[in-house]
Amino acid sequence: MRQDLVRLLREATLTTLAFAIALGWALYQAVSGLAYLITTALTSVDTGDGPFGLGPLTWRLGNHVFAFAALIQGLIEFALVLAVVLLVRRRFRPRWR
C-alpha cells in the first residue's frame, strides 16, 4: 500500500493533490452539516413559545428543530471548490491539434 501511495504522489501534480484535498474537505463539511441536521431533527427540544434564538436557517416543527445552516454552508463550499476545479481543468487542459 505504501508503494501505491508513493507512486500516486510521484505521478500526480501538486494542483491535483490540492484539489483532491479541498474537494474531500468540502464533502466532509457537507456530510457533517447533514449529520447535524439529522441529529437536531431527531432530538426533542423544548424551545419555548418564541421563534427567536434558534439561529439562521433553523425552523421548529413541534418539539423538533431543523437546522439547515451547516448543511447549506457545506454544500456551498463543495460547489465553489468544484467550480474552481472545473475552471482550472478547462483553462489548463492540454490542447491536441
What confidence tens digit (pLDDT) does each residue in 15-30 have? Answer: 788 888 999 999 999 9
pLDDT tens profile 74-93:
999 999 999 988 888 787 76
Contact 54, 60 (CB under 8 A): yes
Q: In this model, does residue 32 exceed pLDDT 90?
A: yes
> What is the predicted pLDDT for the residue at 57?
85
pTM: 0.70
